[in-house]
Amino acid sequence: MLIAILAIGGIGLIGGLGLAIASRIFYVYVDPIILAVEDALPGANCGGCGFPGCSAAAEAIAKGEAPPNICVGGGPGVHIEVAAIMGVEHKEMEPEIAKSGCSYGIESADLKYIYNGFNDCRAAMLLNGGSKVCPVGCLGLGTCVRACPFGALSIGPDNLPVVNPHLCTGCGTCERVCPKHIITLTSNSRRIQNEYTTEECTAPCQRSCPAGIDIPGYIYHIREGNFLEAVRVIKESNPFPSVCGRICVQPCEFECRRNLVDEPVAINGLKRFAADYERNSGKRVQIPRAPETGQKIAVVGGGAEGLTAAYFLNRLGHDSTVFEASSRLGGLLTTAIPENRLPREVLEWEIDGILDAGVKAVTNQRLAQEFNIESLLIEFDAVFVATGGWDTQLSEKDTGAYSQALPGVRILLDYMLNSDAGSKIPGKNIMISGGGNAGIRAAVSFLKEGAEKVYIVFGRAEELISINREEVKNAEEEGVHIYFDSAVTKLFGRGPDLMNVEISSLSEKNEEEAGEIVAVDTFFTGAGRFPELIYTPVRVEKNDGEEKVNSSESDMPVMWETVIPYRSATAKEDKGLFRPGEVISDYKAVVEAIGAGRRAAASINKALTRVPVEAPYDMIRENSRILSLDKLEPVSIMPRQKMAEITMEERINNPSAEIVSGFSKDQAMLEAERCLQCGLICYRRIEGEGN
């Protein structure tokens, strides 16, 4: 017995020693922060965060590879707890939700073939891009539904995914598994900043709208009687629906697919109806605001563009303030549009809506007189200049101060018309952007008057520009340095002074290629307007983090640089100021100014969040090749509704009375019924079966 006990004890001792040695050899250290984070997570292992379970997510959070709020199943409470463990500040994030981007399911779509294979969209996609004729249409096999970890998706009766907003957490799992990118995450901020791309299902009217309004979306809501929801859809792209509903030039109606059958849908009239319904109801529709960012932006110019930019900056969570030189907001909408076309109470209602959203406005404050760019940069994180073009400036020419409103920037035409013979040259190192033959002659003149260096930048190759070749040769012999096929991409300065200009080649397509920095103290624009520029203070890296340098913290003037808003759909080039195809004078239509204001707000938001300020690579432009149709069938003819007008006698008796009275409710719903709810090659067929 004693021997047995000793033997067992010896075995135990040997085993213990072995385990002790093994624990030393194979010891794995587990970071207590990982354990703490994992304990804070709900343990659902749903995979909605993109990691295979909560353990992997906790490890990624602890290593700084994932943010503290990555858990989509735990909610704000979990985010706050994890942030506290990591010792970082928790910021509220805007909720996201899945959204289907297809209009017609497999039951009503034209098919290339009947698919009877493996019940997965990714498998169907391998067979010639899927069974539907439409190249971007939903395949409807429910892969996203099966992948959703929260049961927030289902396939509806039209074979398209339906999102339950109460269950969707915005985890993005459905987006990751969809081979056609039909179902994607969206939010109010994403929709504000959305630009239509070639990979999306878009209608001809959407693609032609300078403001980027979801036209089929709001017309659908009017057809269903959801008039205030229609206004909400419009205001995601345009805060002036009543104004546009009266004076828009309606490029969308020229592209309406019903033109192939009878007459275009009265898109603009329907917009006006929805906006008037909102005004008459007394219920102000505002799209939700993103969480506060703490960033402050100044917008110089209280016209349609400036007010639009300020409104969308506010909706994106920033504090925005508009500075207007006159006593009233609205710009040319106030001074140039007769009241019988745009009643003042309509304009004031829409401007009040922008102010009610939280936009601040300061009137009777003229740039270069009561304030300047430098003084704004001391207080604000960015400054956007939307002062209008040549036509706008004519109404403000009483003092001439506008011609030197921007640091070192002048309008060439204005300078040439107002400078006296023998007057002092405006600077030593001068650059002219564009201007044609007049720009070349001005450059030679500046050199003869004593300028040290003069540069001209043309946005096209020499052989493509209508200029006098002899004058070009003479200018170069005089010492003028000419850049062809190039663009001005950035300005740099300190305080009231311009110091450097960045020049980039347009033939070099590498966006990351640094441009040439040229010392310039005076920059002339050959276009009839000031450039739409975003001014931001230069930030320098210090040991205790990033810090804005301004005169409130040092004796040195503010160092600044500019950001150019990303290009519009009409631009033929991506880089630089005054890109070919874009407006170089006042916008010919308010809807173009509104579109520019929305793009400016999106560009500022990108710049402030350290995202490259550029349009999507596949953004639809005027020269983009888009799939479309030249014939519709079967679509029955439906007469277009006519808006009533006041009589000639009423016009004479009351010249300020509005001429057109708009649609009635019944007319609007009948007109909305005419909309075909188009996509690329799909549309609502009025007779028979099909898409």
Answer yes or no: is 576 within a domain.
no
Sign of CA dihedral 392, 395, 397, 399: negative
Task: Say if residue 176 is in the same domain as residue 114.
Answer: yes
- Residue 115's domain comprises 97-186
Token pair 């019903």 is at which residue?
258
Higher pLDDT, 507 or 599: 599
User: Tokens representing 144?
Assistant: 């996203």
Task: Say if residue 36 is in the same domain as residue 18.
Answer: no
Tell how many helices (H) and how many strands (E) occur in the chain: 25, 22
The reported pLDDT for the residue numbered 227 is 98
Average pLDDT over residues 632-658: 88
Task: Say if residue 37 is in the same domain as residue 4.
Answer: no
Q: Give the number of domains in the chain.
A: 3
User: Tokens representing 424?
Assistant: 């002092």
Contact between 59 and 32 (Cβ < 8 Å): no
Task: Say if residue 107 is in the same domain as residue 143.
Answer: yes
Task: Say if residue 71 is in the same domain as residue 110.
Answer: no
Token pair 């109404």 is at which residue?
395
Of the ranges 52-56, 278-282, 398-402, the best mean pLDDT one: 278-282
Tell me which H or E stretch contains 61.
helix 54-62
Average pLDDT over residues 336-346: 92
Average pLDDT over residues 209-223: 97
Contact between 517 and 502 (Cβ < 8 Å): yes
Average pLDDT over residues 118-142: 92
pLDDT band at 306 (very low <50, low <70, confident <90, very high): very high
Answer yes or no: is 601 within a domain.
no
pLDDT band at 645 (very low <50, low <70, confident <90, very high): confident
CA 639 – CA 171 distance, rounded (Å): 46
Query: What is 587-633 written as a DSSP string?
Result: -SSHHHHHHHHHHHHHHHHHHHTT------TTB--TT------S---
pLDDT band at 459 (very low <50, low <70, confident <90, very high): confident
Task: Say if residue 173 is in the same domain as residue 107.
Answer: yes
Least confident of 48-62, 310-324, 458-472: 48-62
Answer yes or no: is 678 within a domain.
no
Q: Which amino acid is residue 469, in one-letter code?
A: R
**242-301 residue pLDDT tens:** 999 999 999 999 999 999 999 999 999 999 999 999 999 989 999 999 999 999 999 999
User: Tokens representing 50?
Assistant: 């993109």
The reported pLDDT for the residue numbered 435 is 84
pLDDT band at 690 (very low <50, low <70, confident <90, very high): very low
Q: Are strands 161-163 and 153-155 parallel, antiparallel or unpaired?
A: antiparallel
Answer yes or no: is 623 within a domain.
no
User: Tokens representing 604?
Assistant: 């500022």
CA 330 – CA 363 distance, rounded (Å): 11
What's the gap between Cα 441 and its chain centre? 39
pLDDT for residue 153 is more than 60: yes
Task: Say if residue 50 is in the same domain as residue 20.
Answer: no
Q: Are strands 382-385 and 296-300 parallel, antiparallel or unpaired?
A: parallel
End-of-domain residue from the set 186, 214, 240: 186
Contact between 571 and 581 (Cβ < 8 Å): yes
Task: Say if residue 103 is in the same domain as residue 176.
Answer: yes
The reported pLDDT for the residue numbered 491 is 95
pLDDT for residue 395 is more than 60: no
The reported pLDDT for the residue numbered 642 is 94
CA 351 – CA 341 distance, rounded (Å): 17
Task: Say if residue 48 is in the same domain as residue 38.
Answer: yes
Task: Say if residue 124 is in the same domain as residue 162.
Answer: yes
pLDDT for residue 66 is more than 50: yes
Contact between 568 and 596 (Cβ < 8 Å): yes
The reported pLDDT for the residue numbered 332 is 87
pLDDT band at 16 (very low <50, low <70, confident <90, very high): low
Least confident of 23-27, 220-224, 607-611: 23-27
Average pLDDT over residues 219-232: 97
Task: Say if residue 53 is in the same domain as residue 115.
Answer: no
User: Tokens representing 582?
Assistant: 């874009």
Q: Any idea what the CATH number is for the domain that residue 170 is in?
A: 3.30.70.20
Of the ranges 168-177, 240-249, 410-419, 470-479, the best mean pLDDT one: 240-249
The answer to whether the bond into 95 is cis (omega within 30° of 0) is no
User: Tokens representing 41?
Assistant: 């997570």
Answer yes or no: is 75 within a domain.
yes
The reported pLDDT for the residue numbered 404 is 64
Answer yes or no: is 356 within a domain.
no
Answer yes or no: is 537 within a domain.
no
| Mean pLDDT value across the chain | 86
Average pLDDT over residues 66-86: 74
Answer yes or no: is 58 within a domain.
yes
pLDDT for residue 510 is more than 60: no
Task: Say if residue 71 is in the same domain as residue 137.
Answer: no
